[in-house]
Structure 1
């Protein structure tokens, strides 16, 4: 077997791999001998089929397998010997193509772009600010008020008051279609919050302005995709009796409310809220510091980039931004989206930083543990309530999805590794200043 270099320009590499006819014949013979004990053929006992007949019967198929094994082995040996790491899957094709005949040498042309040599990162040259935000009393009080509003009670309005959006009306109702009452269309003492959109579209709006004791006929149409097929798209009339009109009253901010949220008392609830807020601030501050780190790395370390990676990344960026600007298009049946110079510039940054972080992680032997992956899958699965098991099974069978979950975990661990060696100083600010810093990230 012979490997000869044909191209060495920048990161582009080209080679021809020659497998002699004799070498190929040896591999075919090895595969036939390996298979012989299990082969059965009419007129011969299992494992006793003559080699000549086996070669005639199975030779063409085994020849293909032997060629593939030989080429794969040659590529593996080449990458181990050269130290090259291809940026993308190498392009491999037979030189003679369909003209090749058995008994001839096999000549394969292989081309690829090699990953560049990436310089060491001197983390000590990186200077970062870690923004620190404390949970102020005003922020805690605002969060408490929001909790009280979500835990609101309803109290009877003054007699004769008209119902408003946000009020709760207690109603009896009977629904009919074409004059016939239908199953499931009746209810008694039903508490309905107006504006909650929990009933058929248009239902709640017709009860705004009603008073306790009023009889109201509500005319609506069931949605065309309504779950009960016999009602889908049908016009209906609901005869409603309004029994009470109640206004929302926020819960009292006291120990009793705190217990509803799992705290021992109000002081304990305030402590929990402060911890949650500071955790949110810490996450936002980390995003700001990470952007600063990436900006510095982008200028600190320079190396050649594989054009194919930049081109592919620019294409993805252009395609993604096009869909964001055209949200009505859900599929990919549209004209090709051309990458602009701006897309290519952003792609170069992403590819450079991606390769750099990957190399730092490789040299530092940073890995993503099974426990970290399980936690990531569980977090994603919560977005599909009732289908968590199916999501777990989907991830187990989908290598691409596993990589999508693993990549951000790996990147964050590499970032932490670099930050540990950088010069980091803490800076206390308020939440408004942090908010401005986050907004500035979106503008970049």
Structure 2
């Protein structure tokens, strides 16, 4: 076997690999000898089939396997000897297409090598960590929001007309083309006007109605309605208004606290304070992380694999296009051109990604099974009733596992770097923290 370098420009590498016919034949013979004891063939006892007959019967198939193994072995040996790490899967192709048994196999291999990452002195990195305390005003605001979620309703005075945000108790029967349909009827249904829990246009028509009245509500089902036989159809719902109730905010007291699992109001305030400060800490961490990445980006400079930058730029351009065109859910759209801005952002992401990977590897940072399980469970909560199926899907999908593992790994590396850096805490207001978070999206 012979490996000859044909290209060495920047991070681009090219090699010509020659595997002799004699090497391949020897490998085929080795495979046949290994399989011989288990082979049964008519006219011969098990394990006694002559090697020449086995070669005639199975040689062609064995030759294909031998070729693949020889090429894989040559590549692995090359990477072990050279220390190169390919940025993407190497491009490998056989060049002598007129190959026949007995000939040498000529293969061309090309790839972009990952660059050598320079050492970075993290002890000189200075970071600012914003700290926000949960003040009484913020706690009171959160309490008021909780009270709204615990809103009760009490009957309006007799003859009062329903207003937006009121609750009306109704019986209703819906018809399309004069015919009732499944799911189109209900009795004693408590509907909050303005909640958008019914199809568009329904609730607005009940504003101004009174208890004891009957009202025909004319609506059109959305074109993308989940029940296809109703999609886009006009319908009439005959509604009988049985009660009209006004919203009554829950009082902020110990009774409210018990509804949310706290012993009393002080305990509930303590829980809210802890939750708010945890939210503030998460936002402050995002701000500090951006500051750290900015400093790392200034500290290091090295060549980047063009293929990684190009792929990342395309991904950025594609994501931004969909952000600007949310109505397009699929990928059936014109090709999206990358710009200099996309490429510049891609270079930063690739450079920092390679640096963090190197720092994490040297620090022996690992994502534990428990951390992965927790991340999968958090994702699974987005699919109520299908958590088990989602969990099994992730377990069987290596790519999805990597997508979940990557941000966990990055966060752990960031924490590792922050431990070595000089971190100064700065107490700020909630508004200042909010401005700092908003600035992240503007950059």
Report the TM-score range of the alignment, normalised by the length of the smaller protein: over 0.9
Structure-2 separation of matches of 1:307 and 1:184: 57
| C-alpha distance in structure 2 between counterparts of 1:313 and 1:435, whole Å | 29
Report the CA distance shift for 1:70/1:191 in structure 2 as closer, same or farther (over 3 A).
same
Question: CA offset at residue 244 of structure 1?
Answer: 1.7
- 3-state SS of the aligned residue for 1:35? helix
CA gap 1:75/1:248 in 2 versus in 1, 3 angstroms: same
Distance 1:335 1:130, change over 3 A: same
Residue 91 of structure 2 corresponds to 91
1:13 aligns with 2:32: no
Residue 191 of structure 1 is matched in structure 2 by 190
Identify which range, 318-327 or 387-396, moves more after superposition: 318-327
Mind listing any 5+ residue stretches in structure 1 that lack a counterpart?
A: none
Equivalent residue, structure 2, for 1:30: 30
Counterpart for residue 161 of structure 2: 162
Q: Name the CA distance, whole Å, in 1 between partners of 2:442 and 2:62.
A: 59
TM-score (ref. length: structure 2): 0.94
1:69 maps to 2:69: yes
Q: 1:183 to 1:101 in 2, by over 3 A?
A: closer
Offset at 1:382?
0.5
Tell me the distance in 2 between the aligned counterparts of 1:367 and 1:62.
40
The Cα of 1:208 is off from its aligned counterpart by 1.1
For 2:51, the equivalent position in structure 1 comes to 51
Alpha-carbon distance in structure 2 between the residues aligned to 1:236 and 1:386: 31
Q: Which residue of 1 aligns with 2:118?
A: 119
Q: Mind listing any 5+ residue stretches in structure 2 that lack a counterpart? A: none
Alignment pair present for 1:137 and 2:139: no
3-state SS of the aligned residue for 1:47?
coil
Partner of 1:246: helix, strand, or coil?
Answer: strand
2:154 match: secondary structure:
strand
Under a length normalisation based on structure 1, what TM-score does the superposition of the two structures give?
A: 0.94
Q: CA deviation at 1:191?
A: 1.8
For the structure 1 residues 325 and 175, does the alpha-carbon distance in structure 2 shift closer, same or farther, using more than 3 Å as the test?
closer
Aligned to 2:406: 407
Corresponding residue SS for 1:99: coil
Count of residues paired in the alignment: 443
CA deviations on 1:314-347 (whole Å, 9 max, x unpaired) are 1222222222223333333333322211111111
SS of aligned partner of 1:424: strand
Aligned to 2:201: 202
Alignment-derived partner of residue 253 in structure 1: 252
Q: 1:295 maps to which residue? A: 294
Matched, 1:218 2:217: yes
Q: RMSD between aligned alpha carbons?
A: 2.0
1:79 paired to 2:79 = yes
1:23 positional shift = 1.4
Structure 1 residues 84, 181: CA separation in 2 closer, same or farther (over 3 Å shift)? closer
Displacement of 1:185: 4.9
